Amino acid sequence: MAIVVNGRPADSGCYVGDHQGQYAGDVLAEVAESFGFVVPATCDPRFYRRLAAEGSTRSVRDDAESEIVNAGDRLVDFLNTATVEGVWEWDGGAVYLSDWVQD
């Protein structure tokens, strides 16, 4: 059976290269959008990046900065809930879609 993400066929492979560094989660959000998702703010590192830059207080900015990485992890979980016969995973700073599914 083929991998399906949000009702769309998908190929296994690397979707976000480790060269993206601190912006890997932002790129993953763009990948999710390319599959037709509206990325929830709680899973969107770009939301927290904007909040960190524009926050009204130092505390808000600090909290937002710490959430950038967590949002990327939540985004992988979000993608996995809508993926059939495949799994999204971080590996060394890169994000892969694999057709290996554990029983």
26 falls within a domain:
yes
103 falls within a domain:
no
Q: What is the pLDDT of residue 31?
A: 97
82 falls within a domain:
yes
Q: 62-99: b or e for each residue (b if 16 or more CB lie within 10 Å)?
A: eebeebbeebbebbbebbeebbeebbbebeeeebbbee
Contacts of 5 (CB under 8 A, 6+ apart): 35, 79, 82, 83, 84, 86, 97
93 falls within a domain:
yes
Task: Compute φ and ψ for 26, nearest 5 degrees.
Answer: -65, -45
Q: How many domains does the chain have?
A: 1
Q: What is the pLDDT of residue 11?
A: 95
61 falls within a domain:
yes
pLDDT under 70: residue ranges of the chain: 1, 101-103
Q: What is the pLDDT of residue 7?
A: 94
What's the whole-model pTM score?
0.89
The rounded distance, in Å, linking the Cα atoms of 44 and 73 is 10
Q: What is the pLDDT of residue 25?
A: 94
| 95 close to 8: Cβ distance less than 8 angstroms | no
69 falls within a domain:
yes
Place of tokens 């998908």: 10
Range of the domain at 45: 3-98
